[in-house]
Amino acid sequence: MGLSEALEAAHEGVVGVDVIRAYLRSLPGNPGVYRMLDGEGGALYVGKAKNLKKRVANYTNLARQSMRIRRMVAQVRSMEFVNTHTEAEALLLEANLIKRLAPRYNILLRDDKSFPYILVTGDHSYPRVVKYRGARSRQGQYFGPFASAGAVNESLAVLQRAFLLRTCADTIFDARTRPCLLYQIKRCSGPCVGIVREADYGELVDQARAFLTGRSQEIQRELAVRMQAASDAQEYEKAAGFRDRIKAMATIQSRQDINMADIGDADLIGMHVAGGQACVQVFFIRSGQNYGNRAYFPSHAGDAEPAQILEAFIGQFYADKIPPKLLLLSHPVAEKALLTEALSERAGYTVRIEIPQRGSKKNLIQLAATNAASALGRRFVESASQRRNFDGLAVVMGIEGAIERIEVYDNSHIQGTNAVGGMIVAGPDGFVKNAYRKFNIRTGGDFPAAKRGAPLGDDYAMMREVLTRRFARALGEDPDRTSGQWPDLVLIDGGLGQLGIALEVFAELGVRDVCVCAIAKGPNRNAGEERLFLPGRDPIRLESQDPVLYFLQRLRDEAHRFAIGTHRAKRAKSMEKSPLDDIQNVGGARKRALLHHFGSARAVGQAGLSDLEAVEGISKGLARRIYDWFHPEG
Taking CA atoms, 77 is separated from 39, 47, 383, in Å, by: 5, 16, 36
Residue 400 lies in a domain: no
What domain range is 247 assigned to? 117-254
Using a pLDDT cut of 90, give the percent of the chain over it.
23
267: left (phi over 0), alpha (psi -120 to 50) or beta: beta
Q: Which of 377, 395, 424 is the last residue of a domain?
A: 377
Q: Which pLDDT does position 104 carry in this prediction?
A: 86
* Cα 104 from Cα 388, distance rounded (Å): 26
Nearest to 351 by CA among 371, 333, 370: 333
User: Residues 314, 427: one domain?
Assistant: no
Q: How many CB atoms lie within 10 A of CB 391?
A: 13
User: Residues 174, 74: one domain?
Assistant: no
* Cα 129 from Cα 461, distance rounded (Å): 43
Q: Which of 254, 288, 318 is the last residue of a domain?
A: 254
What CATH number does residue 357 fall under? 3.30.420.340
Residue 617 lies in a domain: yes
* Cα 149 from Cα 138, distance rounded (Å): 19
Quick one: how far is CA 276 from the chain centroid? 27
User: CA geometry: angle at 396 spanning 392 and 397, to 5°?
Assistant: 115
Residue 387 lies in a domain: no
What CATH number does residue 592 fall under? 1.10.150.20
CB-count exposure of residue 206 (10 Å: 0-12, 13-18, 19+): middle
- Amino acid identity for residue 247 in this structure: K
Q: Which pLDDT does position 252 carry in this prediction?
A: 55
User: Residues 555, 589: one domain?
Assistant: no
* Cα 203 from Cα 249, distance rounded (Å): 17
* Cα 243 from Cα 247, distance rounded (Å): 6
Quick one: how far is CA 573 from the chain centroid? 20
Strand duo 289-296 + 352-354: pairing: unpaired
Taking CA atoms, 185 is separated from 152, 204, 282, 397, in Å, by: 21, 18, 37, 55
Q: How many CB atoms lie within 10 A of CB 49?
A: 22
* Cα 258 from Cα 283, distance rounded (Å): 9
User: Residues 274, 342: one domain?
Assistant: yes
What CATH number does residue 85 fall under? 3.40.1440.10
Residue 382 lies in a domain: no
Residues of the chain with pLDDT under 70: 1-14, 111-113, 248, 250-262, 301-302, 413-418, 443-457, 522-528, 566-579, 581-582, 599, 632-634
User: Residues 294, 243: one domain?
Assistant: no
Residue 398 lies in a domain: no
HSE-up of residue 16 (Cα within 13 Å, Cβ side): 25
* Cα 189 from Cα 204, distance rounded (Å): 9
User: Residues 543, 424: one domain?
Assistant: yes
DSSP, collapsed to helix, strand or coil, labels residue 247 as helix
User: Residues 466, 537: one domain?
Assistant: yes
Under 8 Å between Cβ of 398 and 535: no
Q: How many CB atoms lie within 10 A of CB 275?
A: 11
User: Residues 129, 228: one domain?
Assistant: yes
User: Residues 235, 140: one domain?
Assistant: yes
| E strand or H helix at 205 | helix 198-212
* Cα 210 from Cα 510, distance rounded (Å): 62
* Cα 121 from Cα 138, distance rounded (Å): 8
* Cα 94 from Cα 33, distance rounded (Å): 6
* Cα 597 from Cα 609, distance rounded (Å): 14
User: CA geometry: angle at 424 spanning 420 and 425, to 5°?
Assistant: 155
Bridge partners (DSSP) listed for residue 282: 269, 294
Q: What is the DSSP letter of 108?
A: B
Nearest to 514 by CA among 392, 390, 389, 406: 406
User: Residues 539, 423: one domain?
Assistant: yes
Going by C-beta distance under 8 Å and a sequence separation of 6 or more, which residues neighbour residue 452? 444
Structural domain tally of the chain? 5
Under 8 Å between Cβ of 501 and 466: no
DSSP, collapsed to helix, strand or coil, labels residue 47 as strand
User: Residues 291, 362: one domain?
Assistant: yes
Residue 383 lies in a domain: no
DSSP, collapsed to helix, strand or coil, labels residue 490 as strand
pTM over 0.75: no
Q: How many CB atoms lie within 10 A of CB 153?
A: 13
Quick one: how far is CA 266 from the chain centroid? 22
User: Residues 584, 559: one domain?
Assistant: no
Under 8 Å between Cβ of 250 and 220: yes
Q: Which pLDDT does position 211 carry in this prediction?
A: 81
Bridge partners (DSSP) listed for residue 286: 289
Strand duo 289-296 + 406-414: pairing: unpaired
Q: What is the DSSP letter of 115?
A: P
Q: Which pLDDT does position 107 carry in this prediction?
A: 86
Q: Which pLDDT does position 254 carry in this prediction?
A: 47
Residue 386 lies in a domain: no
Dihedral sign, Cα of residue 618, residue 622, residue 626, residue 631: positive
Nearest to 515 by CA among 482, 544, 488: 488
Residue 160 lies in a domain: yes
